[in-house]
């Protein structure tokens, strides 16, 4: 009987106890991309041991478990490998390293984000710093809507517009023309699309041309 090879997954960073926000996001993407996110975040109980589906579920759970172990520093492997399921280990990691809602932290992140400007940085460096602040904000300030399916969509749309404004308000004055045009667009582009347009506009301007939206 052939032995089934378990796929290895590397997300590019090892969990070290200080980088859980980034690590957990990358881990969720890796697991979710393989349609196994229920093994760490699902609400349903695993099948009973006498259920015909149990062996298949357990095999998938061991795979998810191994992916998390593969992306931890050795000292953390020794600490968390005793858990029986992937979900149990994931909850333990969240308890140990996850961020808790902190109004002062949220205020600080909002203040830093609203005051951040490009200055002497490249457009790419300014964007990277904004992205870092937004990721941390998402961790400390989850979606407040829980009453209906439309709530998260509303929150996402509100956040998209807010982040577009934050991004455009901090770029250098040489982008004023493109900034005004972007704010007139309907539908409103997201911040990442605006970044691409500004980068293209910079490249066109450098070659002596002009951009039309």
> What whole-number percentage of the chain has pLDDT above 70?
85
Residue of 70, 109, 104 whose CA lies nearest to 86? 70
Q: How far is the C-alpha of 65 from the C-alpha of 73, rounded, in Å?
A: 15
Mean pLDDT along residues 90-118: 84
Residue 122 has pLDDT above 90, yes or no: yes
Mean pLDDT along residues 93-114: 81
Q: Give per-residue pLDDT as tens, 7-61.
A: 789 999 999 988 888 899 899 999 999 999 999 987 778 899 999 999 999 999 9
Write down the pTM of the prediction: 0.54
Count of residues making up the chain:
213
């Amino acid at each position: 009987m052939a032995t089934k090879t378990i796929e290895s997954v590397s997300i590019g960073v090892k969990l070290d106890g200080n980088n859980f926000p980034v690590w957990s996001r990358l881990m969720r993407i890796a697991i979710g991309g393989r349609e196994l996110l229920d093994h760490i975040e699902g609400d349903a109980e695993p099948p009973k041991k006498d259920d015909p589906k149990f062996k298949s579920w357990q095999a998938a759970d061991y795979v998810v478990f191994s992916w998390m172990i593969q992306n931890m520093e050795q000292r953390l492997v020794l600490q968390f490998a005793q858990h029986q399921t992937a979900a149990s280990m994931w909850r333990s990691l969240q308890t140990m390293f996850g961020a808790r809602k902190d109004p002062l932290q949220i205020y600080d992140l909002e203040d830093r984000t609203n005051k951040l400007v490009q200055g002497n940085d490249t457009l790419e460096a300014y964007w990277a710093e904004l992205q870092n602040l937004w990721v941390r904000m998402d961790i400390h300030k989850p979606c407040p809507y829980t009453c209906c399916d439309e709530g998260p969509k509303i929150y996402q749309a509100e956040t998209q517009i807010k982040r577009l404004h934050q991004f455009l308000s901090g770029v250098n004055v040489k982008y004023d023309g493109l900034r005004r045009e972007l704010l007139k667009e309907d539908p409103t582009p997201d911040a990442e699309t605006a970044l691409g347009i500004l980068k293209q506009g910079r490249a066109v301007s450098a070659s002596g041309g002009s951009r039309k939206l």
